[in-house]
A and B are shown apart, each in its own frame.
Chain A
């Protein structure tokens, strides 16, 4: 059971401004049936260019309905410039907060407003600019990066909560992690290409991955790793420091070192530990 605030429940059970404005000045439609939530937002301006009426229709869960209701209440009386300053976070705050898994509902409100304003101005929202990262929910790299930066997101799970990206088959989790890392300027070695690597390139890339990705993590636990040999796809390493004596080192080796090398160098990499 989700923990909804009283205000969310109240706006869900008694949503304000439900319906259609037939002669609306701006209409914004976002979401889809497949996604599990969708919102159509209508607004009408007065002579001074202020929003005099706003209405919505929402297909979705309680927080989607409450977020839509909140948004229509918040934008009434504002100019479009003022309304556009409203962020998804403002919508969530208006409702006294949303469960983190439901933050995407407030993002949907934010997006609908953007679309409605663009519709009024006769502009086209280039919503799908960028490259699709999450195929399940049709989310692009630009959308993910924007959500990461605007909401200070640090983990894949957060990105899923805000954008839905990664909430389906989870195939795109690697790419989402890269976008998070890029957004926070973590230095990463160049992503592997599909071309077959020469032995020299492979060893260099292994060294680079060890240095930039793997060692920093091990060093945090007072450990270290040394490359002993590369024979085809078999990478021999020696663990040093606390790692050498750690009972979890076989797990570190398989789940961390090997999986990172598979990710950055080649899927066929196998790692073995060389003891003293």
Chain B
């Protein structure tokens, strides 16, 4: 078996169609889109097309899309724009399970004079939306809630939250990096003010992302410079990658159905077979309400890094919420927020699929993982049969 790549929430391979689309802009069409000659015009035209494609995937209009360098930049930009445009407001609401691109930013802001409410989740990773609504005050500048969690795949009720938050005149941002390309995302029906999406999670290269900013929303740029992106994000356009993002969004739209049927069935089969074959294992997260491609399985009494290295020996790529894989010494803040006990938080493994994955890869994982778990449990002083 060649490499089984089941870590698509971390990053994805570049689709060959995407690569073909972007390559000319790394070769012959190297013009700066701001320049005044035919060579540059080609870049400009293609960026416009990419913008339309990104907009189409999320039902936005093209002038609501700002290209950025990564999901982290989009998230930082969204929060800063809301704060800068409402300098009198000093309160931020977010969740305890956000990606570090929001979590660490909010922790920094909390040290710099802002008040931040981190809304908790329950055991299955569902957000306490009532508490979120209760936390809203006149001083709240922005509410930022992720659409889908990167570790568990659990979905948050973005539409319900956005409706309530915006009714109160507060800016609503969602980090949809793990939702776009996996489930239908519609900014209009969801009613969000700002939305982050990232290229490398949907088979575009690393280093390109977008921020949707609803028309009419007061906005301040974060990277200050030239007139690019209609003055909303300085810096010469990463033309080739923007072109790639556009193509990737177009493909992602056409693959949503496969995601929701074939990939969902594969993920469910993987979970069911692992739970059946491996005692003392459990799924982390609400199984009824997740993106179709992600599973997070906890195995008692063993440690995730050891599992990953043994999987790697067999060519299987996955990830873990274990402390040892992060270098932070603490197990995943997401699993801890869900009150997953230490015994299985340290021994959690995430498998995340893309439309590239195949049934036989599920078979391979189901064959190889149980002996690894058994072997590590033999080594563990905590394992009691």
- Return chain A residues, CB-CB under 8 Å to B303: 36-37, 59-61, 64
| Alpha-carbon distance A64/B306, docked complex (angstroms) | 9
Q: Mark A42-79, 1 if CB is under 8 A from B, else 0.
A: 00000000000000011111101100000000000000
- Return chain B residues, CB-CB under 8 Å to A13: 310, 313
- B305-A58 in contact (CB<8A): no
B323 within 8 A of A: yes
- Return chain A residues, CB-CB under 8 Å to B302: 59
Q: Mark B300-337, 1 if CB is under 8 A from A, else 0.
A: 01110110011001000000001111011111000000
| Known contacts A18-B378, A18-B379, A58-B379, A36 near B329 by CB under 8 Å | yes
- Return chain B residues, CB-CB under 8 Å to A29: 381
- B379-A65 in contact (CB<8A): yes
- B346-A36 in contact (CB<8A): yes
- A58-B324 in contact (CB<8A): no
B382 within 8 A of A: yes
B343 within 8 A of A: yes
A110 within 8 A of B: no
Say which size band chain A's interface belongs to: 20 to 34
- The one of B328, B331, B381 that contacts A58, using a Cβ cutoff of 8 Å: B381
- A12-B382 in contact (CB<8A): no
A48: min CB distance to chain B, Å: 29
- B329-A12 in contact (CB<8A): no
B380 within 8 A of A: yes
Q: Which residues of A124-160 have CB atoms within 8 Å of chain B's CB atoms?
A: 136-137, 160
B342 within 8 A of A: yes
Point out which of B309, B313, B379 has the most chain A C-beta atoms below 10 A from its C-beta.
Answer: B379
- Return chain B residues, CB-CB under 8 Å to A160: 329
- A57-B329 in contact (CB<8A): no
Say which size band chain B's interface belongs to: 20 to 34
A260 within 8 A of B: no
| Alpha-carbon distance A143/B342, docked complex (angstroms) | 24
- Return chain A residues, CB-CB under 8 Å to B324: 36-37, 60-61, 64, 102
A239 within 8 A of B: no
- B382-A167 in contact (CB<8A): no
| Alpha-carbon distance A184/B381, docked complex (angstroms) | 38
A223 within 8 A of B: no
A108 within 8 A of B: no
| Known contacts A33-B346, A61-B303, A168 near B381 by CB under 8 Å | no
- B327-A62 in contact (CB<8A): no
- A65-B323 in contact (CB<8A): no
- The one of B310, B329, B342, B343 that contacts A168, using a Cβ cutoff of 8 Å: B329
Point out which of A62, A164, A168 has the most chain B C-beta atoms below 10 A from its C-beta.
Answer: A62
- A59-B381 in contact (CB<8A): yes
- The one of B310, B342, B378, B380 that contacts A34, using a Cβ cutoff of 8 Å: B342
Point out which of B305, B322, B331 has the most chain A C-beta atoms below 10 A from its C-beta.
Answer: B305
A15 within 8 A of B: yes
| Alpha-carbon distance A89/B335, docked complex (angstroms) | 34
- The one of A9, A33, A61 that contacts B343, using a Cβ cutoff of 8 Å: A33
A95 within 8 A of B: no
- Return chain B residues, CB-CB under 8 Å to A12: 306, 309
- A62-B329 in contact (CB<8A): no
| New contact pairs (9) apart from A33-B346, A36-B323, A160-B329, CB-CB < 8 Å | A12-B309, A29-B381, A36-B331, A37-B303, A57-B380, A60-B306, A61-B322, A61-B325, A168-B330
What 8 A-B pairs are tightest by C-beta distance, nearest first?
A: A167-B329, A61-B324, A61-B305, A57-B381, A40-B381, A36-B323, A59-B380, A34-B342
A-B contact pairs, 21 of them (CB 8 A): A12-B306, A13-B310, A18-B378, A18-B379, A33-B343, A36-B346, A38-B382, A57-B381, A59-B301, A59-B346, A59-B379, A59-B380, A60-B303, A61-B305, A62-B306, A64-B303, A65-B306, A136-B330, A160-B329, A167-B328, A168-B330
The chain A residues found within 8 Å of chain B, CB to CB, are 2, 9, 12-13, 15, 18, 29, 33-34, 36-40, 57-62, 64-65, 101-102, 136-137, 160, 164, 167-168
